[in-house]
């Protein structure tokens, strides 16, 4: 199972990625993790990436694709892999295609913006333990207090509505074009094109999981 997971920030990709990883016994490949690992290991690509990042610039698609190809040679990718947060742009998708990185499925998790904002803006967490609550869907027993310690809960800056709206704007402007890119490729008749599947990401986590598994089995 070689898979790209697409969807807006807050659509639940991380949760579903965990289910898919376990079912198919494949690693989740995130470019952030790859960059950190390559820099730590001091590989040629890692050193090139570090130089760019130290200068406060964005790592080029060439370096990212080089890291991806390096990563896919590792033993844990024998059964396949799941790309999370990559590709983000048409240029990266083209570079992946040109590099011959094989993908079986592109799975889109579709969630309306207002649902994502409600989901993220209502999150509260306990800094000491990482326990997460939601003011509407999973409230603490006592308003804004951790169930275990009774300490104050906090809202992370990343979860605030204005921040979420900005992240969604970036997604719509830069990454959403990939939905049409992969959909059109899937319908082109190209024998190496991945299958494109879309599921709704609203509702019970288990129901979404079942939809994902069903989509990836046909």
Provide the annotated active-site residues: 13, 88, 123, 156, 167
Query: What b/e readout covers 70-108, taking b as 16+ CB neighbours within 10 angstroms?
Result: bbbeeeeeeebbbbbbbbbeeebbebbbeeebebebbbb
- Give the CA distances from residue 167 to residues 8, 19, 71, 191, in Å, rounded to whole numbers and listed in that order: 9, 25, 28, 35
Minimal CA–CA distance to 6: which of 135, 74, 118, 105? Answer: 105
CB 121 within 8 A of CB 162: no
Structure-block tokens of residue 176: 């959403």
């Amino acid at each position: 199972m070689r898979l790209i997971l697409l969807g807006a920030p807050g659509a639940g990709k991380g949760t579903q990625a965990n289910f898919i990883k376990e079912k198919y016994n494949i690693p989740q490949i995130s470019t952030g993790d790859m960059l950190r690992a390559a820099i730590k290991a001091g590989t040629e690509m890692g050193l090139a990436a570090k130089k760019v990042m130290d200068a406060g610039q964005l790592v080029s698609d060439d370096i990212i694709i080089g890291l991806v190809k390096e990563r896919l040679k590792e033993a844990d990718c024998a059964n396949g892999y799941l790309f999370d947060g990559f590709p983000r742009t048409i240029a990266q998708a083209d570079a992946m295609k040109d590099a011959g990185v094989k993908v079986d499925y592109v799975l889109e998790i579709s969630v309306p913006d207002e649902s994502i904002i409600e989901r993220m803006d209502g999150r509260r967490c306990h800094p000491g333990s990482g326990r997460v609550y939601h003011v509407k869907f999973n409230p603490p027993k006592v308003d804004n207090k951790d169930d275990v310690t009774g300490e104050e809960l906090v809202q992370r800056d990343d979860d605030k509505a204005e921040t979420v709206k900005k992240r969604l704007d970036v997604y719509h402007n830069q990454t959403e074009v990939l939905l049409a890119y992969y959909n059109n490729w899937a319908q082109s008749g190209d024998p190496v094109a991945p299958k494109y599947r879309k599921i709704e990401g609203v509702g019970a986590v288990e129901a979404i999981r079942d939809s994902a598994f069903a989509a990836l089995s046909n």
